[in-house]
Amino acid sequence: MFYIKKLIQTLGIFLISTLIMVFLITLFYYFDIFSNTIYNIFKFIIPSLTLLISTILFGKQAEKKGWLEGLKIGGIVILLFLTLSSLVNGGDFSLRMMIYYIILLLISAVGGMIGINRKKD
């Protein structure tokens, strides 16, 4: 039960921080503070950075195999993203999206490894 609670808490941190940052970046883009290029760069950086931070926090609480714990979080996030994109885009799936999801999985695995190595015994 404790594990599921920490998993949901980590996903909540990821979703809330991602939504807040995406809202701010979209607001800046709407008022022409950011250009289209900068907006597209932030659309990649924000989920990657928040996923990395979330998996580092989750990895600190793991007992062993931080990479696996990071992959679990990354897999759940990717399933969430796939579900949302299939609802919005009608199931369009491209090579570009697949590469993006693989990068997110790798980032989450690295975050889990960093988290477990920074764990205080």
Task: Give the tens place of pLDDT for each residue, 7-25.
Answer: 898 899 999 999 999 999 9
Closest by Cα among 50, 70, 49 to 115 = 70
Whole-number pLDDT of residue 118: 83
What token pair was written down for 51?
A: 């996923």
State the burial class of residue 111 (Cβ atoms within 10 Å of its Cβ: 0-12, 13-18, 19+).
buried
- Can you give the pTM of this predicted structure? 0.87
75-120: per-residue pLDDT in tens?
Answer: 999 999 888 888 887 767 788 889 999 999 999 999 999 998 886 6
Nearest to 11 by CA among 61, 46, 57: 57
% of the chain residues with pLDDT over 70: 97
Q: What is the mean pLDDT of the chain?
A: 89
121 pLDDT above the threshold of 60? no
